[in-house]
Amino acid sequence: MDVHFSMSSFLSIVLQALLSSSHGSLEPYDLLYNNAVDAFYRSDYKDVVRYMEGALSSYAVVRQTKVRCRLRCQDQHPFDSVTMDLQFFDVVLRRSNCQNECVEEKVGTQSMHKVSEDVNQDFQRRIPYNYLQLAYQKLKQLDKAAAAAHTYFQANPEHVEMDQNLEQYKALEGTDQDHFVDREARPHQRSFSAGVKLYDSADYKGAIAQFEEALQEYYKADVECRALCQGPQRFEEQDHVLYRYSLYELVSDHFTQALHCEHECVRDLSTRPGRLSPMENYLPLHYDYLQFAYFQMNMVEEAMECAQSYLLFHEGDEFMTENVEYYREAVGHDVKPREKAEWYLRRHKQELELLVIGSENMHVEFTEGHYWTSTGGREDSNRIPSGTDGWMEYVPISEKKNFTLAPPQELREGGPLVYDSVQLVQNSKALNGTQRVLLDDVISVDECAKLTNLAHTVTMAGDGYRGKMSPHTPNERFEGATVLKTLQYGYEGRVPLKSARLFYDASERARRIIESYFLLNSTLHFSYTHLVCRTAIAGQQDHRNDLSHPIHADNCLLDPEANECWKEPPAYTYRDYSALLYLNGDFEGGEFIFTEMDAKTVTAQVKPKCGRMVGFSSGGENPHGVRAVTRGQRCAVALWFTLDPLFRELERLQADEVMQALDNQSSQSQWDTSLNINPKDEL
């Protein structure tokens, strides 16, 4: 059975059925997603599947509906005939009204509400499939569990436990290779990958069919991507509650954001799920593969057409030019490039130039019936076209900032520990790394007990995490509080003020130790301070092999497959040092681990206990994570520091003011009880 065909056919039928209904029955995908998560915590795995599959279907329908409606309204209300400002605004308003009416007609008003950014990010990161694979596993539907696990892993290749799950599924009786399908595979990338495999096996006829399909799907995906850019835009740099610019400036800002979104489509279509950078030379490679595959099938005119198309993107390329000359002599006349390629390049030349420059590519040159590589060596019939040695990494030179092993100053360690009670347990050498330290007795047993009790009181009061009580694994509950929040509770009498002050003082003690031990020649500032507990959820620990916190680095985006760590947003690139001060050890699991950049090879392991602290530099030299907490509750003070005063923690500065007021025994301390504090998920 062709699994890809049946899966896509099924989805197509579902979409058509749902889209054909008017005023509908489509339930909002964020509501379905929330119901599925609730069902997971109730261990109602049938409902998990029902709601989560419904959420995924609803999400796909809403997306496809927006594409269709925006393209239809774009055709009905074009800008081509606009000659005056008022006509332009008239088209904008008519197009917007058309889109809203169209979407409402297809999916119903209830599915048109604004979905939170967190939920949309979960769908983009394929988080629903993590829940699904666990639910299907519990229901003994291993074929579906394998597909869900494979789908999730494609976008989260750093997830070591899911990799292990997949290996276990492959070893189980009742599962076969056809079950490991990517349910979210993008058609243009799937066809391209299939074409490469057929090409490598010398099945040139099959490869041609796949590459031609990949081109059609690519151009279709490009149209859809640009259509999705036509909707409301986010203005992150401006507060539009206070935004008082003119109508012209508002419209200009909107279309600037929309153009930026469209500009990113070329990059997006060239990037595999889970990868940080697009494949260099992606679109031209289709024509490069095709020109040689057609040549192998003795279809020389088609080969020449594809070679000419490639030259549109790489004008004057020496080896492809020589191929064209060879083809021209063989057919006896000239052949033009493909019209679609010419049209696309005219419209998107600037965007494409970012992804096709800088390649020292291999091409085929034909001479006297033989073909030769650019290095002069004779090749066999499985010649690999230019730039196809895997999915290549690419970031424009101005943006490429992968990590350096050293922080922005000389690497040193071994300074004084500041406090007499603190004991050095292991240095970097003993921990098999660089800029690492393990210390004991940073705080006393009594202080651990007070901070643990504080955590139980403050975190149970609920800091929300934007609704995410299990941001890292569905098998644990994650709760925490900031210094300022804790001091506020102490000031209000909801927790002992001495305990709240202890949290503040203990974090300052940790900062001073890290600053001194690593012999930093400038002040280390707080970037973020978090009192956090992870609690194993009863009934969800059987056969568990995921992590409490996946392997990551604190100031860069870890790419285990490429052995790189990209220092770029959304990573907290300004963080320089990190520390974890543990409050207890009476739980199972929960070991802190350092790994190599492959996110698999463990280099050191730390068992938490009261008063123990691990400190390290925050870059790609120190990937780390937390093993699963399988019983009990693990509490710690998590700390991140920066050497740049511009990135000091705002809440810490406010906490400093509160402490100063308390030290001055001021009964009239200024306090804003309406502070809107929304702590971040621990990274």
Phi first, then psi, for residue 256 (nearest 5°) are -65, -45
pLDDT per residue as tens digits for the range 69-79: 989 988 888 88
Residue 403 included in any domain: no
Residue 410 included in any domain: no
- Residues with Cβ within 8 Å of residue 374, at least 6 apart in sequence: 318, 319, 362, 363, 365
Residue with tokens 């740099």: 237
Same domain, 475 and 584: yes
Residue 169 included in any domain: yes
Q: What is the pLDDT of residue 667?
A: 45
Q: What is the pLDDT of residue 663?
A: 74
The amino acid present at 487, given as its one-letter code, is L
Are the C-beta atoms of residues 652 and 677 closer than 8 Å to each other? no
Percent of the chain surpassing pLDDT 90: 41
14 or 602: which leads in pLDDT: 602
CA dihedral sign, ordered 483, 485, 488, 490: negative
Same domain, 155 and 202: no
Q: Which residues pair with 625 in a beta bridge?
A: 593
Residue 670, classified by CB atoms within 10 Å of its CB into exposed (0-12), middle (13-18) or buried (19+), is exposed
For 510-515, which contacts have Cβ atoms below 8 Å and span 24 or more sequence positions? 510/442, 510/579, 510/581, 510/613, 510/615, 510/637, 510/639, 511/639, 511/641, 512/418, 513/417, 513/418, 513/419, 513/422, 513/439, 513/442, 513/613, 513/615, 514/577, 514/579, 514/615, 514/641, 515/641
What's the 3-state SS for 228-287?
A: HCCCCCCCCCCCCCCCCCCHHHHHHHHHHHHHHHHHCHHHHHCCCCCCCCCCCCHHHHHH
- Which of 283-297, 460-474, 564-578 is predicted least confidently? 460-474
Token representation of residue 396:
């424009």
- Which of 76-80, 202-206, 382-386, 541-545 is predicted least confidently? 382-386
Residue 371 included in any domain: no
Residue 6 has pLDDT above 80, yes or no: no
Q: Which residues pair with 531 in a beta bridge?
A: 481, 637
Q: State CA 135 to chain mean position distance.
A: 23
Inter-axis angle of helices 204-228 and 45-76, nearest 10: 80
Token representation of residue 193:
């990958």
Q: What is the pLDDT of residue 25?
A: 64
Same domain, 39 and 102: yes
pLDDT per residue as tens digits for the range 167-220: 888 888 777 788 888 999 999 999 999 999 999 899 999 999 999 999 999 999
Q: What is the pLDDT of residue 553?
A: 93
Q: Which residues pair with 525 in a beta bridge?
A: 642
Q: How many CA atoms lie within 13 A of 50 on its CB side?
A: 7
126 is catalytic: no
**Count of the separate structural domains present in the chain:** 3
CATH value at residue 651: 2.60.120.620
Range of the domain at 450: 429-665
Token representation of residue 399:
């943006």
Q: What is the pLDDT of residue 287?
A: 94
Rounded to whole angstroms, the Cα distance separating 581 from 532 reads: 10
Residue 402 included in any domain: no
Token representation of residue 34:
């929330």
Pairing of strands 564-566, 557-559: antiparallel
The H or E element spanning position 566 is: strand 564-566
Q: What is the pLDDT of residue 354?
A: 55
Q: What is the pLDDT of residue 468?
A: 53
Q: What is the pLDDT of residue 101?
A: 85
Same domain, 487 and 554: yes
> Mind giving me the DSSP string for 17-47?
HHHHSSS--PPPHHHHHHHHHHHHHTT-HHH
Residue 467 has pLDDT above 90, yes or no: no
Average pLDDT over residues 367-381: 35
Average pLDDT over residues 477-489: 86
Average pLDDT over residues 242-258: 69
Residue 375 included in any domain: no
Whether the model clears a pTM of 0.75, i.e. scores above it, the answer is: no
Same domain, 46 and 86: yes
The H or E element spanning position 423 is: strand 423-426
Q: What is the pLDDT of residue 356?
A: 52
Residue 278, classified by CB atoms within 10 Å of its CB into exposed (0-12), middle (13-18) or buried (19+), is buried
Residue with tokens 């790489």: 314
Q: What is the pLDDT of residue 406?
A: 35
pLDDT per residue as tens digits for the range 41-56: 888 999 999 999 999 9
Which of 315, 339, 362 terminates a domain? The answer is 362
Residue 279 included in any domain: yes
**How high is the mean pLDDT of the chain?**
79
Same domain, 210 and 157: no
pLDDT per residue as tens digits for the range 99-145: 888 888 888 776 667 788 788 888 988 999 999 999 999 999 999 99
Are the C-beta atoms of residues 533 and 634 closer than 8 Å to each other? yes
Same domain, 253 and 312: yes
Which of the following is catalytic: 186, 634, 648, 652? 634
570 or 272: which leads in pLDDT: 272
Backbone angle region of 234, left / alpha / beta, with phi > 0 → left and psi within -120 to 50 → alpha: beta
Which range has the top average pLDDT, 152-166, 184-198, 544-558?
184-198
Nearest residue to 158 via CA among 476, 654, 598, 568 = 598
Residue 465 has pLDDT above 80, yes or no: no
Which of 362, 377, 398 terminates a domain? The answer is 362
Inter-axis angle of helices 160-171 and 142-155, nearest 10: 150
Same domain, 335 and 457: no
DSSP state of 472: S
Same domain, 161 and 38: yes
CA dihedral sign, ordered 552, 558, 563, 566: negative
- Other beta carbons within 10 Å of 599: 24
Cα dihedral 260→263→264→267 (10° resolution): -160
Residue 35 included in any domain: yes
Rounded to whole angstroms, the Cα distance separating 168 from 473 reads: 19
Residue 242 has pLDDT above 70, yes or no: no
Residue 262 has pLDDT above 50, yes or no: yes
Which of 317, 340, 362 terminates a domain? The answer is 362
Are the C-beta atoms of residues 292 and 365 closer than 8 Å to each other? no
121 or 625: which leads in pLDDT: 625
Rounded to a whole number of angstroms, the distance between the first and last alpha carbons of the chain is: 43
Q: What is the pLDDT of residue 655?
A: 86
Pairing of strands 602-606, 592-595: antiparallel
Same domain, 175 and 205: no
Q: Is 631 helix (H, G, I), strand (E, B) or coil?
A: strand
List the helix and strand counts (H, then E) for the chain: 20, 17
Same domain, 522 and 630: yes
Same domain, 589 and 485: yes
